[in-house]
Amino acid sequence: MRKTWSGSRIDLHIDLDASKGRRSALESALRDAIRQGRLAAGTLLPSTRGLATELGLSRGTVTAAYDQLVEEGYLTTRPGSGTTVADIPPETVPSPSATPRPAGPRHDLRPGLPDVSDFPARAWLAATRRVVAGSRSVVLGAGDPQGRLELRTALADYLGRTRGVVTSPDRIVITSGYYQSLRLLSAVLAQNGARAVAVEDPSHNVFRGVVQHAGLATAPMPVDAHGACVDALTHEVDAMLLTPSHQYPTGVPLHPSRRQAAGAWTRTTGGLIVEDDYDGEYRYDRQPVGALQGIAPDRTVYCGTASKTLGPALRLAWMALPPQLVKPVVEAKQQADLYTESLSQLILADLITNHAYDRHIRATRLRYRRRRELLLTRLSGVKGLTAHGVPAGLHTLVTLPADWPPEDQVLSLCARQGLALRGLSELHIDPRGRPAGLLIGFAAPPEHAYRPALDALFSTVQELVASLK
């Protein structure tokens, strides 16, 4: 029979085998629960009186069962401390369909990832206390598909102040990430009759896939030393997807003349610009370049995220929309997942309002600048490797010499040394005849692990160079 300990400090369902005596059934049930790990080491069990009442047994039966399991080493008891589960390893029963989870890389140099060990935990906890101390119905009640007004208000001020974005709280929509932002926009565009979107080449292949999944064609815009060639676009498109502050993956900003060309294009054609400002806060040699959205706020969707500043697991991003897109995007958001989790929105709003978010970005900006400089210093000692892009962002693109092994072989060798990087080829729409390269992230490792990661990387590079002689 199934019993539950509703009055104890833990909730646990146990089966008492009716074919056994009561004491034996209780001993077996507790023994199995401990062996299987359902009762963890150190768990405080109910008193003999409490458990006897819950299970409808005599107190003597429960006392005898406890005593037996103490003798067998499954339980420990100390006067005044009650009876607890002993520290014994649980049984492990492998599942025939289970696949071992691969271990993470020893050295994480993937692009686009921040150092989450730098997460502003103290400021976040202080903001959490302030938020939770408020009205519980406000904090934990049903959310708004558009996002919490507190965060939208804070963002409207912050984005205007730091990125030159022209917007207001009623034109901002909160999402769970840029991936969702782009998916909502693509769906709305397709529903409104759009057929094609211009994308940078190279660009993030996952996001190209999001656009294509909505039924939209993608037209390539070549990228050169001045960013996307928006003035050379020959396809008829309904929207243009750009990373103007720090082109992904080449790292160059969009030239002022091309910014003007993009603004002229949207005014002439009525097309939409989607601006992915994925790491615009991080510029190391000057003030960050302002958002492109300021040139044409009524024809540009500005997209930002907390993934690069705080951490990707927070799942917080935002769109500053032209007025005509707010309603259809909010409706699409409601259909997608109703609304984004509220508590984190309120905490981020508090951080922004109290300028803790600004302080965190300034501090990480200094650390990441030093890391980038160290990476470039190490790169300068290797003949043939060429770094690209302005001092910005969380990664550096390095193109490989023509006489090196193919890119996939270089990545495989790095992986065998425990290094996680990303290759350039998969980011090209057609990689044939295009240069091979590596995207080296310099932000992800904790501070103490960054130099060992570079040591491992350049040891591998030297091994490659030696093999070519």
Residue-wise pLDDT tens digits, 175-230: 999 999 999 999 999 999 999 999 999 999 999 999 999 999 999 999 999 999 99
Interval 404-422: pLDDT, tens: 999 999 999 999 999 999 9
Residue 93, pLDDT above cutoff 50: no
Instruction: Return the HEC string of the chain.
Output: CEEECCCCCCCCEEECCCCCCHHHHHHHHHHHHHHCCCCCCCCECCCHHHHHHHHCCCHHHHHHHHHHHHHHCCEEEECCCEEEECCCCCCCCCCCCCCCCCCCCCEECCCCCCCHHHCCHHHHHHHHHHHHCCCHHHHHCCCCCCCCHHHHHHHHHHHHHHHCCCCCHHHEEEECCHHHHHHHHHHHHHHCCCCEEEEEECCCHHHHHHHHHCCCEEEEEEEECCEECHHHCCCCCCEEEECCCCCCCCCCCCCHHHHHHHHHHHHHHCCEEEEECCCCCCECCCCCCCCHHHCCCCCEEEEEECCCCCCHHHCCEEEECCHHHHHHHHHHHHHHHCCCCHHHHHHHHHHHHCCHHHHHHHHHHHHHHHHHHHHHHHHCCCCCCEEECCCECCEEEEECCCCCCCHHHHHHHHHHCCEECEECHHHCCCCCCCCCEEEEECCCCCHHHHHHHHHHHHHHHHHHHHHHC
Interval 146-183: pLDDT, tens: 999 999 999 999 999 999 999 999 999 999 999 999 99
Lowest mean pLDDT among 66-70, 180-184, 324-328, 450-454: 66-70
Interval 288-317: pLDDT, tens: 889 999 999 999 999 999 999 999 999 999
Domains delineated in the chain: 2-85 (1.10.10.10), 119-358 (3.40.640.10), 362-468 (3.90.1150.10)
Residue 91, pLDDT above cutoff 50: yes
